[in-house]
Amino acid sequence: MIRLDDVQIFVQTVEAESFSEAARQLNIAPGLASSAVQRLEKELGVRLFTRSTRSMQLSEDGERYLPHARAMLDAQHQGQQALAREGSALKGLLRLSVSSDLGRNLLLGWLDAFQHEHPGLSLHIRMSDRSVDLVRQPLDAAIRYGTLADSSLVAMPLLEHNRRALCASPAYLAKHGKPSTVDDLRQHNCLRYVWSEQVHERWRFTLPGGDRTVSVTGNRISDDADVVRRWAVAGEGIVYKSRLDVLEDIKAGRLVELFPHAHCEPSPLNLVCAHRSRLTPAMTRLKGFLRERCEALLATCPPVA
């Protein structure tokens, strides 16, 4: 009989790319992780991994079995959530993917408060500026900016009217001057970040004469958007990010908005799930909680004229 904990260890090993790392994440001995996968292989009658003295990778059978293993764990999780619905208190595991800047500087504190309100919940947070596969990866939802490219996903709006903000520090503007048009950005040091292996360097604006895209350059790029915001605060250049990310810096005077807010690219914030079966009571309450926090924060700083 296949044991679900063996299946979980198999999936964790695939994601961690080693028995030792999977064991560390699960807080078990490495030998137990290896034994669990061997036991699963014996039950299935196949080799799930191709092993050598230097490496380990999924076998063809392992590749075929992986989505089914994840589906088994997903079914177990949904069953636990279904049972949790019967009680008034929220229970179970909530697995979220969040972006770096929003995650560290806003969501981390908000999610702490949400969990304190619902102590029966356990949080598993993945913080990264990479896109995630909500179907294949063990996640309940992702909190992301922008419109969805995949129409099969379920998007629950948290802040529909959010836009980007073009900003620089007072020190940078004192030294290099303020751009008067979007075309002037080509003469400035523009701080860029990488999203899912692509550099965000084509900045889009909605001007009275129509939409305009400006290709920008600069001497700093990072795959962590929080780093880019910090560079801007330090006076290293101009940044173009979600207004929600830079709002506290604007309010404190660390950053100055350069163009009318209405001219900047829309950047709606959504709570995204793979399918409607993920819309558990915990997810519904989280959506309402985060939406209220986002709108309250945005209301504290009116848009520039």
The full set of domains in the chain, from first to last, is 4-82 (1.10.10.10), 85-161+268-299 (3.40.190.10), 164-263 (3.40.190.290)
Q: Which residues pair with 166 in a beta bridge?
A: 240
**Of residues 305 and 282, which shows the higher confidence score?**
282
Whether the CB-CB separation of 184 and 176 falls below 8 Å is answered with no
Which contacts qualify for 18-24: CB closer than 8 Å, 24 or more apart? 18/56, 19/56
- Report the SS3 class of residue 209: coil
Partners of 40 in beta bridges: none
Q: What is the mean pLDDT of residues 130-137?
A: 77
pLDDT of residue 125: 92
Directed axis angle between helix 243-252 and helix 225-233, to 10°? Answer: 20
**Higher-confidence residue: 88 or 297?**
297
Structure tokens at 238: 């101009």
State the chain's mean pLDDT as an integer: 87
Q: How confident is the model at residue 305 (pLDDT cuts 50, 70, 90)?
A: very low
Report the pLDDT value the prediction gives residue 81, as an integer from 0 to 100: 66
**Confidence category of residue 84, pLDDT binned at 50, 70, 90:** low
- d(Cα 273, Cα 283) in Å, to the nearest integer? 9
- CA gap 78, 72 in Å, rounded: 10
Q: Answer yes or no: is pLDDT of 86 > 70.
A: no
Measured in degrees and rounded to the nearest 5, phi and psi for residue 86 equal -70, -25
Beta strand pairing call for 192-195 and 198-199: antiparallel
Q: How many CB atoms sit inside 10 A of residue 204's CB?
A: 14
| Residue 87 clears pLDDT 70, i.e. is over it | no
Determine the pLDDT at residue 176: 96
- Distance, in Å, from the CA atom of 263 to the CA atom of 111, rounded to the nearest integer, reads 32
Residue 162: closest CA among 218, 84, 106 = 106
Q: What is the pLDDT of residue 18?
A: 83
For residue 216, the Cα-to-chain-centroid distance in whole angstroms is 25
Query: What percent of the chain stands above pLDDT 70?
Result: 92
Q: Between 246 and 260, name the one with better pLDDT.
A: 246
Give the Cα separation of 62 and 48 in Å (integer): 4
